[in-house]
Amino acid sequence: MQKVYAHCAGLDVHKDSVAACVRHDDGREIIQTFGTTSRQLLRLGDWLAEQSVTNVAMESTGVFWKPIWNLLEDRFALMLVNAQHIKRVPGRKTDVSDCQWIAQLLEHGLLTASFVPLRPQRELRDLTRSRTQMLHDRSRLLSRIQKVLEDANIKLSSVATDVLGKSGRMMIEALIAGEQDADRMADLARAQLRKKIPQLREALTGRVTSHHRFMLRSLLEQVDHLDAQVAAFDARIEEVMSPLEREAVNRLDAVPGFDQRTGQNVIAEIGTDMSRFPTAHHLASWAGICPGNHESAGKRRGGRMRQANRWLKAALTQSAWAASRTRRSYFHAQLNRISQRRGRKRAVIAVAHSLLVVAYHLLDQPVAYTDLGVDFFDRISPERKAHGLVHRLEKMGYKVTLERDAA
């Protein structure tokens, strides 16, 4: 088999050790084990340089590969590989044999590199992912607040859409302060919620004890702390983003279902340089937002999606739900069209795929977003639409005769 690299190395990475195997074009193979402290990793880099190594491959083992990548990325051509793609023969697995196997596959060019962005984008990813986790924590705190209110038989969530909105927050703070008069608490309602004052009087009549007040006070303090942290991360993300990334976020913000935060999350995951993905379909496959392939003997066994990038997939799925509720948009029509035959959940994934394709083209070419319109499918296939409508009327017992307008 042809050798692609003359001097290369394979690393088997663990929490406390790294097994390294260097292969040369003359058949020599040298193996050595190093620690994972900074000093040991720098010694690993010096040893690889002494061996004239140009290319290094390693498995994506948890987060243990990151410090190695950070210290060696400026000295060698690094390649991160999915561990599922390079499994060894069962029963013959050791740290030494693993690094030998990785080096051998790399030497013959049989490895496919995973996408590892540059350091600025990796840091932006850390910020957006941490912010997403904090928003999830805030949602969990909201659920715990609602449980405490239910325990006190306060049915505020049955009347107010947002328990922690301006009106709901004032009512909860009144409860914490010891207020027991439901009429005075209901009168704290603002804007559209004032139309529901009679329902609020009923909902705010409960049995609130000192224990409930303590729990609500503690949970609100945690919510306030998280809100401050999210605001700090928002400011930091804006600070570290480049002008090109900010411009890309503004273009994505025009797409139904996207907002500034979603645009920032998408940019952090895929970047602004679409040349690394040959087509939009390659990007969708990398993101795991398209059906999988499992075919044998001419039979399709299934199309379950891969896990892939769960952060990007979650952001796109959330945006797909929002986009499908945008009236007079292509995505609203797409969801209705697919959900009739495939179900609503599959339709949402299809909308998420379309959103990612749109994002790819907006980032690949600096153009403004133009919606295809809610009547897009009717315009591309009017005969099919007419046939479907006639079929529905015939099932209802009508006899339909169609005549095309002469105009």
CATH architecture of 120-240: Orthogonal Bundle (1.10)
Name the residue among 10, 19, 22, 97 with its Cα closest to residue 58.
10
Listing DSSP states for 339-378 in one string gives HHHH-HHHHHHHHHHHHHHHHHHHHHS--------TTHHH
For residue 329, the tally of other CB atoms under 10 A from its CB is 20
Residue whose pair of structure tokens reads 């690949």 in the numeric block? 364
pLDDT value of residue 130: 96
Q: What is the value of pTM for the model shown?
A: 0.85
In angstroms, what CA-CA distances link 34 with 46, 48, 387? Answer: 12, 12, 70
First-to-last CA distance in the chain?
A: 70
Topology of the domain covering 7-107? Nucleotidyltransferase; domain 5 (3.30.420)
Q: What is the pLDDT of residues 324-335, one digit of tens each?
A: 888 888 999 899
Return the structure tokens found at 303. Answer: 């199309």
In degrees and rounded to multiples of 5, residue 12 shows phi and psi of: -105, 110
**Distance from C-alpha of 269 to C-alpha of 277, rounded to nearest angstrom:** 13
77-81 and 294-296 as β-strands: parallel, antiparallel, unpaired? unpaired
User: What is the average pLDDT across 360-373?
Assistant: 89
Return the structure tokens found at 113. Answer: 């590199």
- Please check whether residue 201 is in contact with residue 155, taking contact to mean a CB–CB distance below 8 angstroms: no
Lowest mean pLDDT, pick from 57-61, 210-214, 245-249, 264-268? 57-61
pLDDT value of residue 406: 64
Task: List the domain boundaries for the chain.
Answer: 7-107, 120-240, 243-364, 380-407
pLDDT value of residue 96: 84
Computed over every residue of the chain, the mean pLDDT equals 89
Q: What is the pLDDT of residues 286-336, one digit of tens each?
A: 898 877 666 666 676 666 777 778 899 999 999 999 998 888 889 998 998
pLDDT value of residue 45: 94
pLDDT value of residue 293: 67
Q: What is the pLDDT of residues 127-177, one digit of tens each?
A: 999 999 999 999 999 999 999 999 999 999 888 888 998 999 999 999 999
- Please check whether residue 11 is in contact with residue 67, taking contact to mean a CB–CB distance below 8 angstroms: no
Return the structure tokens found at 249. Answer: 């976020």
pLDDT value of residue 402: 81
